[in-house]
C-alpha cells in the first residue's frame, strides 16, 4: 500500500470511528438520563410509563407474585433506590408503605414522593373483622384517573421542560381509562345478581364504582374460621352465587372448599400483580360479567 493510500485508509477509519461514536453517544446519554421512578405495586408501573414514556424508567418494589401486605424489601432493592428521583406511593394505608416507606425515603431523601391517592375518596374495607380503610384504590378505573394526574404533576415538577409531552401522554391514557370505564359500565348493566365472593377482598373500589357488593372470605388477612365459612356458604346459596374469585398471590384452600359446597367454580383475577393494567381490567370485567350473569 502506498503512502497516499495509507493516509486515505486512516482517514476512512477515523471517519468510521467518528460515525460509530456519534451514533452510540446519544443512545447511552439517553438511557443514563432517564428519570428513575419507583412505585409500590405493579399496576402503577403502567400508569407511570404511560405518562413518562421514554423519559422514565419504572420499577415496582413489590415484585410479581408477591403480596403487598407482607412483602419485605431486599437489600438490593434498598441500594437501587439511590438512583431514583421519584417515588410514586399508592398513599392509601397499604401495609407495605406503612412498614417500609419511611425507611425507603431515608435511603434517598432527595426523591420526590408523589401521593397517588391525593384527591381520592377512601372507602372502608369490607372485612367485618378488620375494619379500616380499603387500600386497593387502583381497582377503580375512576380512581386511576386521579392517580395518573398526580403522577403527571410529579413528573412535570421534576422535568418541567417536557411538561407538554407528559400532559399529552396523560390525556391519551385518560381517554383509554374513560373508554375502559364506559365498557365495564355497559357490560355490567342489567345484571341482576350483584353480589360476589372473593378470597382476598381487593375489589371494594371496583364494586363501589359499578354498584356491586363484595363479600371477602379472608378474615384479618388469614383463612376464615369455620363459623364464618358456614355463613358465607349460606349466603352464596341464597344469592345463587356460583363463582368464587381468588387471586394468584394467595393460598386460598377455603375458596376451593366453598366452591365445592355451593357447586360452583373458582376463577382467578389479579388485583395486585398485573403489570398491564388496561388489558388486565378488561379480563377482570369479562370474568365479572360471566360470574354474575
Ligand atoms: Zn391486597
CA of 67 to the centre of ligand 1 (A): 7
State the average pLDDT over residues 263-292: 94
Between 17 and 45, residue with greater pLDDT? 45
CA of 134 to the centre of ligand 1 (A): 9
Whole-angstrom CA distances from 239 to 103, 217, 232 are 46, 16, 10
Instruction: Grade residue 246 by pLDDT with cuts at 50, 70 and 90.
Output: very high
- Confirm if 264 and 243 have CB atoms less than 8 A apart: yes
- Confirm if 66 and 108 have CB atoms less than 8 A apart: no
CA of 120 to the centre of ligand 1 (A): 18
Cell numbers representing residue 37 in the block: 421512578
CA of 139 to the centre of ligand 1 (A): 10
Residue carrying the nine cell digits 381497582: 139
CA of 56 to the centre of ligand 1 (A): 27
Say what the pLDDT of residue 30 is: 40
CA of 54 to the centre of ligand 1 (A): 30
Bridge partners of 198, per DSSP, are 216, 245
CA of 250 to the centre of ligand 1 (A): 10
All structural domains of the chain, each given as residue ranges with its CATH number in brackets, are 31-185 (3.40.50.1980), 191-292 (3.40.50.1980)
Buried b (16+ CB within 10 A) or exposed e, 131-140: eeebbbbbbb
Residue 208 in this model has a pLDDT that exceeds 60: yes
Per-residue pLDDT tens over the stretch 102-119: 999 999 999 999 999 999
In angstroms, rounded to a whole number, what is the distance separating the alpha carbons of residues 287 and 26?
46
Cα 280–Cα 56–Cα 52 angle in degrees, nearest 5: 60
What proportions of the chain, in percent to the nearest 5, are helix, strand and coil?
55, 15, 30
Residue 20 in this model has a pLDDT that exceeds 50: no
Per-residue pLDDT tens over the stretch 59-74: 999 999 899 999 999 9
Instruction: Grade residue 126 by pLDDT with cuts at 50, 70 and 90.
Output: confident
CA of 265 to the centre of ligand 1 (A): 22
Instruction: Grade residue 180 by pLDDT with cuts at 50, 70 and 90.
Output: very high
Residue 5 in this model has a pLDDT that exceeds 80: no
Closest CA to 203 of 126, 115, 129: 126
The H-or-E segment that residue 34 falls in is none
CA of 180 to the centre of ligand 1 (A): 22
Between 130 and 169, residue with greater pLDDT? 169
State the average pLDDT over residues 215-236: 91
In angstroms, rounded to a whole number, what is the distance separating the alpha carbons of residues 195 and 240?
9
CA of 55 to the centre of ligand 1 (A): 30
Residue 25 in this model has a pLDDT that exceeds 50: no
CA of 51 to the centre of ligand 1 (A): 25
CA of 213 to the centre of ligand 1 (A): 17
Between 22 and 106, residue with greater pLDDT? 106
Lowest mean pLDDT among 31-45, 66-80, 83-97, 122-136: 122-136
In angstroms, rounded to a whole number, what is the distance separating the alpha carbons of residues 135 and 133?
6
Percent of the chain with pLDDT over 70: 88
CA of 42 to the centre of ligand 1 (A): 12
Closest CA to 72 of 53, 100, 51, 32: 100
Residue 279 in this model has a pLDDT that exceeds 50: yes
CA of 174 to the centre of ligand 1 (A): 25
Say what the pLDDT of residue 211 is: 95
CA of 200 to the centre of ligand 1 (A): 6
- Confirm if 199 and 254 have CB atoms less than 8 A apart: yes
Residue 255 in this model has a pLDDT that exceeds 60: yes
Q: What pTM was computed for the model?
A: 0.87
- The 8-class DSSP code of residue 286 comes to H
- Confirm if 247 and 139 have CB atoms less than 8 A apart: no
Give the phi and the psi of residue 10 in degrees, each rounded to 5: -65, -40
Instruction: Grade residue 9 by pLDDT with cuts at 50, 70 and 90.
Output: low
Instruction: State which of 14-18, 30-34, 181-185 shows the largest mean pLDDT.
Output: 181-185
State the average pLDDT over residues 176-197: 94
Per-residue pLDDT tens over the stretch 127-136: 666 678 999 9
State the average pLDDT over residues 141-170: 98
DSSP per residue over 222-290, as a string?
Answer: BPPPHHHHHHHHHHHHHTT--EEEE-TTS--HHHHHHHHHHT-EEEE--SSS-S-HHHHHHHHHHHHHH
State the average pLDDT over residues 16-38: 56
3-state secondary structure of 87: strand
Instruction: Grade residue 28 by pLDDT with cuts at 50, 70 and 90.
Output: very low
CA of 90 to the centre of ligand 1 (A): 12
> Could you give the residue ranges of the DSSP H alpha helices within 108-140?
none
Residue 122 in this model has a pLDDT that exceeds 70: yes
Cell numbers representing residue 163 in the block: 411538561
Amino acid at each position: 500500500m502506498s503512502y497516499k493510500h495509507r493516509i486515505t485508509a486512516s482517514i476512512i477509519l477515523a471517519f468510521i470511528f467518528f460515525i460509530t461514536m456519534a451514533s452510540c453517544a446519544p443512545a447511552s446519554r439517553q438511557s443514563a438520563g432517564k428519570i428513575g421512578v419507583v412505585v409500590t405495586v405493579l399496576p402503577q408501573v403502567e400508569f407511570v410509563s404511560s405518562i413518562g414514556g421514554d423519559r422514565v424508567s419504572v420499577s415496582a418494589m413489590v415484585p410479581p407474585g408477591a403480596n403487598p401486605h407482607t412483602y419485605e424489601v431486599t437489600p438490593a432493592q434498598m441500594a437501587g433506590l439511590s438512583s431514583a428521583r421519584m417515588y410514586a406511593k399508592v398513599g392509601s394505608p397499604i401495609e407495605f408503605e406503612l412498614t417500609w416507606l419511611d425507611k425507603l425515603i431515608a435511603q434517598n431523601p432527595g426523591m420526590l414522593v408523589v401521593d397517588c391517592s391525593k384527591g381520592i375518596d377512601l372507602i372502608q374495607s369490607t372485612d367485618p373483622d378488620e375494619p379500616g380503610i380499603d387500600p386497593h384504590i387502583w381497582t377503580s378505573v375512576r380512581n386511576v384517573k386521579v392517580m395518573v394526574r398526580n403522577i403527571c404533576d410529579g413528573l412535570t415538577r421534576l422535568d418541567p421542560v417536557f411538561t407538554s409531552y407528559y400532559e399529552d401522554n396523560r390525556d391519551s391514557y385518560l381517554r383509554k381509562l374513560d373508554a375502559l370505564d364506559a365498557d365495564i359500565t355497559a357490560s355490567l348493566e342489567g345484571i341482576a345478581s350483584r353480589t360476589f365472593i372473593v378470597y382476598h377482598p381487593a375489589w371494594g373500589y371496583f364494586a363501589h364504582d359499578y354498584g356491586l357488593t363484595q363479600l371477602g372470605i379472608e378474615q384479618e388477612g388469614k383463612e376464615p374460621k369455620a363459623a364464618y365459612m358456614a355463613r358465607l356458604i349460606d349466603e352464596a346459596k341464597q344469592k345463587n352465587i356460583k363463582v368464587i374469585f381468588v387471586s394468584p398471590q394467595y393460598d386460598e384452600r377455603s375458596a376451593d372448599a366453598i366452591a365445592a359446597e355451593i357447586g360452583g367454580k373458582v376463577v382467578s383475577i389479579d388485583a395486585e400483580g398485573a403489570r398491564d393494567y388496561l388489558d388486565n381490567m378488561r379480563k377482570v370485567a369479562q370474568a365479572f360479567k360471566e360470574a354474575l350473569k
